[in-house]
Structure 1
């Protein structure tokens, strides 16, 4: 995806996390100066270890809840790619206060710091959870419902703050509503691990993955390389109509959890035929979960010229290969 030969200074907050470390890697390979800000609450040092000797990479170990740290991080920066957040609906239900402190207060600190440093543009990770109880499919950016979790509230508040900073202070912002991102470096461990890496690890160990509900809920699972493309397009677009708005960041198709597990077993069985015989366990439905998720990516295609490169099945094959060789 060659867009420009110009070199920029980019700050990736949450740069040691799954999405953040992939963004750091991509932009370092393009020859940009990359600064990672992370407090390692959910990110991992091993994700950024390969970059530490790169002269174009800088690590700031700090917390976005500290405004001075945010100011230090954005000093001399062209673009902010704000990925730092406490993800997970269940986590926010169990601890809404910390989710709010990080996702709202920390986000506001970054906006203020970016405004004062006069960065060119502030691109941030928004969330498909913002669609809440809206039942319309596919999801289009202008039609949302009421949030179904504290996490969803925090991500919606981010969009409201970004809009106000654009209108009031002239800070260019773009929100990317991520839909169930998966791929290399996504952590399979921990209480709030995402479903795909968690299931991959279970299946490799011949343990039965547990699906919440009957497995008929569907998701627009989005491979990491499509997300990287969207961040770069949002960063570099020169279309004035394309800024100060939000975009679905997805593939634009959906699969049920049952279909997802079936494909996982199929792809993993190439490495270990026993995996095809591992049974699935069905548990109770999870609070705050939306039944179906499917994005329209027409707005991103029209304004950013987005062309997702990886379908779910293509991305899953890549992810399975990575996990088999790295778990």
Structure 2
């Protein structure tokens, strides 16, 4: 079996490559990346083929997709704040790029496509936990592009018979997640600040909560859905119903850290959702054996990784 991962040199993509390499039935893995947020692999493996290309270029995507059995579409321009600053670029990469992936998969008769959506599509809907049938009320251009990503994917299933599944990611974290850019996620930002003996910056009062999800759960679900050709007519939450405030994360980090942690609270950011928590019923019905590491264990793992990296 041969699998293409778009955005395969990013945080989730790199971890997914490592997970797939442990599967003997996966003979070859291709990654398609333009290296804007991703990094080239330093450890070369004959089973991994890196392809430099851009999702906005259909020919790049068509070439990368030729001959593969499955596509995992992770490539995107991430970040709510980035999308507010530059909505056109986010739209071009995330929506036009997704359409190119789906068209290339259809043209090359790919057997299965999974795509990454986001919990941000729920937006202003206050209901908890987030059930996939809830109304979506995006608060940012990024969230709009992710809603379009999953809608296009489901439409290609009903219109063309393409086997697909769209996962809504919830605040994924773990080893290899970068903190060295302005749009980094909150946990790597916290850990980088701790390592550099700097204060942790929190936008708002810190009581906003997230369903933080271990990278190992995400790569396990993506791997099993690709190998088993798991499909869904509707999007699927990829999280497990936990909810931890940012202040709660700080408290847990303080238990791991040997120095007092300083926190600075600043004004809230536009487009940020106050609370997020998934219903995992649909996920566990489709993938009953999906890995579910505890948040405390996963946080300790990534803390140890950052402190020694």
TM-score, structure 1 length as denominator?
0.91
Question: For 1:177, which of 157, 168, 175 is the aligned residue?
Answer: 168
Q: 1:250 Cα shift?
A: 1.0
Does residue 36 of structure 1 match 2:31? Answer: yes
Greater helix percent: which structure?
1
Q: Which whole-Å CA distance do the structure 2 matches of 1:304 and 1:144 have between them?
A: 24
Which residue matches 1:294? 277
- 2:63 is matched with 72
Cα shift at 1:144:
2.7
Quick one: distance in 2 between partners of 1:141 and 1:42?
29
Aligned residue in 1 for 2:242: 253
Residue 141 of structure 2 corresponds to residue 158 of structure 1: no
What is the aligned-residue RMSD (CA, Å)?
A: 1.2
- The separation in 1 between residues aligned to 2:153 and 2:284, in whole angstroms, is 22
Aligned residue number for residue 324 of structure 1: 307
The answer to whether the 8 A contact 1:108-1:161 is kept is yes
SS in 1 for 2:8: coil
More moved, 215-224 vs 142-151: 142-151
Partner residue of 1:135 out of 126, 134, 137:
126
**What is the deviation of 1:29?**
2.4
Query: Mind listing any 5+ residue stretches in structure 1 that lack a counterpart?
Result: 1-7
Alignment equivalent of 2:199, drawn from 208, 214, 226: 208
CA deviation digits over 1:172-219, x for unaligned, max 9?
110110000000100011110111011101011111011000000000
1:233–1:306 contact (8 Å) kept in structure 2: no
Does the CA-based 8 Å contact 1:251-1:308 persist in structure 2?
A: no
Residues 13-52 of structure 1 mapped to structure 2, 5 A cutoff: 13-31=6-24, 32=26, 33-45=28-40, 48-50=41-43, 52=44
Contact 2:195 2:306 in 1 (8 A): no
Is the contact between residue 64 and residue 106 of structure 1 (CA under 8 Å) also seen in structure 2?
A: yes
> Displacement of 1:238 after TM fit?
5.7
SS at match of 1:49: coil
Cα deviation digits, residues 140-175 of structure 1 (max 9, x gap)? 111133110000000001111111111111111101
User: Aligned partners of 2:82 and 2:164: how far apart in 1?
Assistant: 27
Q: 287, 296, 300: which one pairs with 1:313?
A: 296
C-alpha separation in 2, matches of 1:72 and 1:245:
29
Query: Could you tell me whether the CA contact under 8 Å between 1:130 and 1:144 is conserved in 2?
Result: no
- Tell me how far apart the structure 1 counterparts of residues 142 and 7 of structure 2 sit (CA, whole Å): 17
What is aligned with 1:280?
263
Question: Using the alignment, how far apart are the partners of 1:208 and 1:143 within structure 2?
Answer: 37
1:235 aligns with 2:218: no
Q: Is the 8 A contact 2:114 2:167 kept in 1?
A: yes
- Using the alignment, how far apart are the partners of 1:16 and 1:303 within structure 2? 27
Structure 2 match to 1:9: 2
**1:306: how far off?**
4.4
Does structure 1 conserve the Cα–Cα contact (< 8 Å) formed by 2:163 and 2:229?
A: no
Runs of 5+ unmatched residues, structure 2:
none
* Superposition TM-score, scaled by structure 2 size: 0.97
Match of 2:54 among 63, 67, 77: 63
Count of aligned positions: 307
CA contact (8 A) 1:64 1:102 kept: yes
Give the secondary structure class of the aligned counterpart of 1:29: coil
Instruction: Confirm or deny: 8 A CA contact 2:237 2:280 kept in the other structure.
Output: yes
